[in-house]
């Protein structure tokens, strides 16, 4: 919580019929995030690759964010936080890939809050279901389509 505000929590899970190494690499490649209709452009800033401190820029209609990796343990997990963006937001997330039978269990958690100047609670109420469907679920569906045989 920040300043007594309850953050929006998004938690998506899915089992994919592909090995953890491939799933993790696919999900960390910013270019693949554009399978989501939420994102129009995504890339590592300054041509860095994934690793602690690396920052990816995501752009969509009416917004942009810079997400910095705060933990990176391939092919198991990574964490990130938003370090800049418009509208302003406080966001962080963790992506975990765990072997599950012949595939991978993906567990993706994200929390965010928007300050009043970023739209506050009314915008959070509107964006939470959209982010869940058009970002998180769309990306996991895109990953499944790309990697599952």
Q: Which of 29-38, 57-66, 84-93, 136-145 has the lowest mean pLDDT?
A: 84-93
Write down how long the chain is. 149
Is residue 107 predicted with pLDDT exceeding 80?
yes
User: Taking CA 131 as the corner, what is the angle to CA 129 and CA 136, rounded to the nearest 5 degrees?
Assistant: 115
Structure tokens at 95: 């992506």
- Structure tokens belonging to residue 143: 């990953």
Measured CA to CA, the distance from residue 66 to residue 50 in angstroms comes to 14
Specify the pLDDT at position 2: 41
Buried b (16+ CB within 10 A) or exposed e, 19-34: bbebbbbbbbebebbb
Q: Residue 54 and residue 36: Cα distance in Å, rounded?
A: 21
Q: What's the pLDDT at 6?
A: 66
CATH number of 8-147: 3.30.530.20
Statement: residue 74 has pLDDT above 50: yes
Higher pLDDT, residue 114 or 147: 147
- The pLDDT, as a whole number, for residue 136 is 93
Within the chain, strands assigned E span 8-16, 41-44, 55-60, 63-73, 77-86, 90-100, 103-113
Q: Is the pLDDT of residue 123 over 80?
A: no
More confident residue, 34 or 48: 34
Residue 48: predicted pLDDT: 81
Name the residue ranges covered by the structural domains of the chain: 8-147
**Whole-structure pTM value:** 0.88
Closest C-alpha to 58, from 24, 26, 35: 35
- Of the two residues 137 and 90, the one the predictor is more confident about is 137
């Amino acid at each position: 919580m920040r300043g007594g505000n309850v953050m929006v929590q998004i938690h998506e899970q899915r089992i994919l019929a592909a090995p953890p190494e491939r799933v993790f690499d696919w999900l960390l490649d910013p270019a693949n995030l554009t399978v989501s209709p939420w994102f129009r452009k995504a890339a590592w800033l300054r041509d860095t690759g994934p690793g602690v401190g690396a920052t990816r820029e995501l752009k969509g209609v009416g917004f942009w964010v810079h997400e910095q990796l705060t933990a990176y343990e391939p092919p198991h997990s990574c964490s990130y936080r938003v370090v800049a963006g418009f509208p302003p937001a406080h966001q962080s997330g963790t992506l975990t890939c765990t072997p599950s039978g012949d595939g991978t269990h993906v567990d993706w958690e994200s929390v965010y809050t928007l300050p009043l100047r970023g739209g506050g609670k009314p915008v959070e109420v509107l964006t939470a279901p959209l982010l869940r469907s058009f970002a998180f679920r769309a990306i996991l569906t895109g990953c499944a389509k790309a990697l599952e045989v």
